[in-house]
């Protein structure tokens, strides 16, 4: 049992203004370091944005970025935070940003964290401290959260949630279990854990990767004939294919030729040049890593094209590596040679290949889960996510039905008996809030308010012809199959 009896040593600062934003910040922003691990050699960096609503009563959310190795700034600037970059062509000056009108901080306080160690501005005081894994990542976040609450006692009684996307689908349920188990063991302060959410989440390779072929078929990226052949020759196994199964390998090669130039993050968007050399670098050699980082700092992401969605990687790279920005954030200078949005050079062991058992365990703890997917994401398709949810022996309480934002279908939702809500976000990719901020904000707001996503559905939506006459009517009392056509009247 771990009992925190005194306030831990925490370096934190209130940020009143930020380079790149005009005027003082209209919300409370705090940044800081918290030491975790043995002798606190690992220093995790965080950005805390207090709720713009009622901080004393609104929920508290800890947000884990993907990767592993992606900075908390991903969530703050590109997904659910109160700021977003102005998408203008970089001219050598400091990139600027403006308010995000659909920030989740309107209804919740949020901690964005640089974790695991090596992400963002997080660092270790020893080389051995840079070794991390799925479980260590969750353990460090667990220690971080209890220490943070000791330093911020006014939030101890607030309802607490954990969220993350992409690779975040691995540490989120692990961390949720650690916090739940810690509460039962009497660890202090007690964390009022109510639920967790995972968007476009990595969960289990059996489900995640084998769903890709059925997904590209549904997206009309391969023919019916090719899909039927692959389904027969591969017998539903498209990843761990036996070498002597030449027919399956031939079909998979044909499928690869059909989709090799498709943007996996969003199949409808252009397949733009990437900054992949940043995202795939890995070495355990400290000197080689530092040299690589210096190279990146002096040769920023020139290959990115203005007009592409990933051009924002250039903007955040230039902003976060500016010395005035780092001083404003109170970053400890000299510990990170260069800030990288998603640092693939971290020394990470994937010791939890599947988190299905964690999801199953949490079903017995009455902890709510919101699992959502951008429905045009090929990397982690909604089909794989649906399949692993159904593998938990879940009973469907509410059949697949649309949910609405301002009388427009925002996606589809299915409710399960074991405290799981699954939702798609229509038209979104990987990850959903990067594409549909307004819809994802409404989804989050309804869920933490314990309201069904579909509670604002129009009772009798009508479809109008070109002359304005009503031609069809959808009955939403049941599932989506209840469609009645009537004559024009």
Q: Give the pLDDT of the chain (489 residues) as one tens digit per residue.
A: 444 445 566 789 999 999 999 999 999 999 999 999 999 999 999 999 999 999 999 999 999 999 999 999 999 999 999 999 999 999 889 999 999 999 999 999 999 999 999 999 999 999 999 999 999 999 999 999 999 999 999 999 999 999 999 999 999 999 999 999 999 999 999 999 999 999 999 999 999 999 999 999 999 999 999 999 999 999 999 999 999 999 999 999 999 999 999 999 999 999 988 764 444 344 445 565 556 555 555 454 556 788 889 899 989 999 999 999 999 999 999 999 889 999 988 999 999 999 999 999 999 999 999 999 999 999 999 999 999 999 998 899 999 999 999 999 999 999 999 999 999 999 999 999 999 999 999 999 999 999 999 887 776 444 443 444 433 344 444 445 433 333 332
**The pLDDT value given to residue 368:** 97
Cα separations (Å) of 406 from 12, 148, 251, 417, 477?
Answer: 40, 38, 44, 28, 19
Start-to-end CA span in the chain (Å): 71
**The pLDDT value given to residue 294:** 56
Cα separations (Å) of 250 from 211, 236, 256, 379?
Answer: 18, 15, 10, 22
Q: Where are the domains of the chain?
A: 1-219+272-458, 222-261, 459-489
Query: Which residues are within 8 A (CB) of 236 and not within 5 positions of it... i.e. 6 or more apart?
Result: 210
229 an active-site residue?
A: no
In contact, 259 and 216? CB cutoff 8 Å: yes
Question: β-strand 60-64 against 160-165: which pairing, if any?
Answer: parallel
166 an active-site residue?
A: yes
Q: For residue 187, count other CB atoms closer than 10 A to its CB.
A: 18
**The pLDDT value given to residue 184:** 97
Of 65, 166, 180, 373, the active-site residue reads 166
Closest to 369 measured CA to CA, from 177, 102, 92: 177
Closest to 33 measured CA to CA, from 346, 329, 319: 329
Which token pair is 278?
Answer: 């940043």
Of 375, 376, 430, 454, the active-site residue reads 430
Closest to 206 measured CA to CA, from 374, 387, 351: 387
Of 108, 377, 394, 454, the active-site residue reads 377
1-219+272-458 domain in CATH 3.40.50.1820? yes
**The pLDDT value given to residue 293:** 53
377 an active-site residue?
A: yes
**The pLDDT value given to residue 372:** 98
Q: For residue 54, count other CB atoms closer than 10 A to its CB.
A: 9
């Amino acid at each position: 049992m771990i009992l925190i009896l005194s306030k831990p040593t925490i370096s934190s600062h209130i940020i009143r203004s930020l380079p790149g934003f005009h005027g003082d910040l209209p919300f409370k922003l705090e940044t800081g370091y918290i030491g975790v691990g043995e002798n606190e050699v690992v220093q995790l960096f965080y950005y805390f944005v207090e709720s713009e609503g009622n901080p004393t009563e609104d929920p508290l959310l800890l947000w884990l970025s993907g990767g592993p190795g992606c900075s908390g700034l991903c969530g703050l600037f590109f997904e659910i935070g109160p700021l977003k970059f102005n998408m203008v062509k970089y001219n050598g000056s400091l990139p600027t940003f403006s308010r995000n009108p659909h920030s989740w901080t309107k209804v919740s306080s949020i901690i964005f964290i640089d974790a695991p160690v090596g992400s963002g501005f997080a660092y270790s005081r020893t080389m051995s401290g840079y070794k991390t894994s799925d479980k260590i990542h969750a353990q460090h976040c667990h220690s971080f959260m209890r220490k943070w609450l000791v330093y911020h006692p006014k939030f101890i009684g607030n309802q607490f949630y954990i969220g993350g996307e992409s690779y975040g689908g691995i540490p989120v349920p692990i961390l949720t279990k650690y916090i739940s188990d810690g509460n039962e063991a009497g660890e202090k302060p007690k964390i009022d854990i109510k639920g967790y959410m995972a968007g476009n989440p990595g969960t289990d390779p059996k489900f995640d990767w084998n769903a890709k072929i059925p997904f590209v078929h549904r997206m009309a990226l391969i023919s019916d004939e090719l899909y039927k052949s692959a389904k027969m020759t591969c017998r539903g196994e498209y990843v761990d294919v036996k070498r002597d199964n030449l027919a399956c390998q031939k079909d998979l090669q044909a499928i690869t030729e059909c989709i090799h130039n498709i943007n996996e993050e969003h199949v409808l968007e252009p397949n733009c040049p990437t900054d992949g050399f940043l995202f795939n670098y890995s070495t355990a050699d400290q000197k080689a890593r530092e040299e690589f980082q210096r190279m990146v700092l002096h040769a920023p992401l020139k290959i990115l094209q203005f007009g592409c969605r990933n051009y924002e990687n250039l903007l955040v790279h230039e902003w976060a590596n500016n010395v005035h920005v780092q001083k404003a954030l109170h970053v400890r200078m000299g510990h990170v040679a260069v800030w990288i949005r998603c640092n693939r050079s971290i020394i990470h062991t994937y010791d939890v290949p599947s988190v299905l058992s964690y999801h199953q365990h949490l079903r017995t703890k009455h902890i709510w889960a919101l699992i959502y997917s951008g429905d045009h994401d090929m990397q982690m398709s909604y089909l794989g996510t649906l399949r692993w949810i159904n593998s938990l022996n879940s009973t469907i309480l509410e059949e697949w039905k649309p949910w609405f934002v301002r009388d427009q279908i925002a996606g589809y939702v299915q409710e399960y008996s074991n405290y799981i809500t699954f939702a798609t976000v229509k038209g979104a990719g990987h990850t959903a809030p990067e594409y549909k901020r307004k819809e994802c904000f409404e989804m989050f707001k309804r869920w933490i308010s314990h309201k069904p996503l579909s509670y604002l559905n129009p009772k009798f939506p009508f479809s109008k012809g070109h002359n304005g006459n009503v031609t069809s009517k959808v009955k939403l009392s049941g599932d989506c199959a209840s469609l009645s056509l009537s004559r024009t009247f």
